[in-house]
Amino acid sequence: MNFTLRILGTASAMPISDTNPSAQVLSVHGRLFLIDCGEGTQQRLRQMHLGFLKIEAVCISHIHGDHVFGLFGLLSSMAMFNRTAPLKVFGPQALGPILRFWQSFFGDGCNYEIDFHSLTGSGMECVYENKSLKISAFPLSHKIDCYGYRFDEVLGARALSEGRCPRSYAYCSDTMPFPELEDYVRGVSVLYHETTYLKDMKDKALAYAHSTTADAASLALRAGVGKLLVAHYSSRVREKELFQKECREIFEDSYALSDCEVVEID
């Protein structure tokens, strides 16, 4: 059964002509989970042949524009596609008024329920669970309320008896390093961690509450993850290979992502 990550955007806040802002889709046993929703997300979904109506839940890390500006168009398109199934939306408390604004001005003809789950916890919180997947949210350290997400595959007794190991994925968007993060992502099969800055730009990372390549790779090493994926690149650096090179100096199994890339998690 699939556990597949599709990368819809890898840029940070400043627009780049050939790269979208943050958005990813995780497909677990045929169910789609959208993680962040930067501008242009719905166009990228079409380009990658991902159906709007198959999205079961949306996980928003925080309400900075490069992570949420694509949500309004996507919600409207879902209505135009005659979605009727409820849509679960997870995100910080401040996302609630934004969703209510969209519904009050643009919600006419919307035949589906937006089931918003406000994240306010100070530690790991289970927000979704079915027979094949558990989603947990955890706080990050950014300038505003910001959350990461951990996706853990749930296997039945038969699969476990056959020696299969459950797969897992953790998503850490905008954040400074902080001690608890190591425990939140410990042992995941694949970790995504923002690397807005190269290691010689540590001063800017601190000023804007972001991470460097060294921060992300050091966390991956300490937490014992299987593989590290990085993105959310500063527009100051156009050679993403530099991010990968610096991460691999600390954690060898590191990969700098590109838009439209597909990653099989195993």
- pLDDT, one tens digit per residue, over 68-87 is 999 999 999 999 999 999 99
Measure Cα distances from 143 to 9, 11, 175, 191 in Å.
Answer: 22, 18, 8, 22
Q: What's the pLDDT at 14?
A: 85
Query: Tell me, what's the pLDDT at 119?
Result: 97
Whole-prediction pTM = 0.97
pLDDT of 68:
98
Work out the mean pLDDT of the chain and round it to a whole number: 95
pLDDT at residue 29 tops 90: no
User: What pLDDT band is residue 122 in, cutting at 50, 70 and 90?
Assistant: confident
Please list the active-site residues: 66
pLDDT, position 246: 98
Domain ranges in the chain?
Answer: 3-264
Longest dimension (CA), the chain: 53
* Fold of the CATH domain 3-264: Metallo-beta-lactamase; Chain A (3.60.15)
How much is the pLDDT for 163?
A: 86
Alpha carbons 114 and 119: distance in angstroms, whole number: 15
The yes-or-no verdict on residue 1 having pLDDT over 80 is no
Residue 84 has what pLDDT? 96
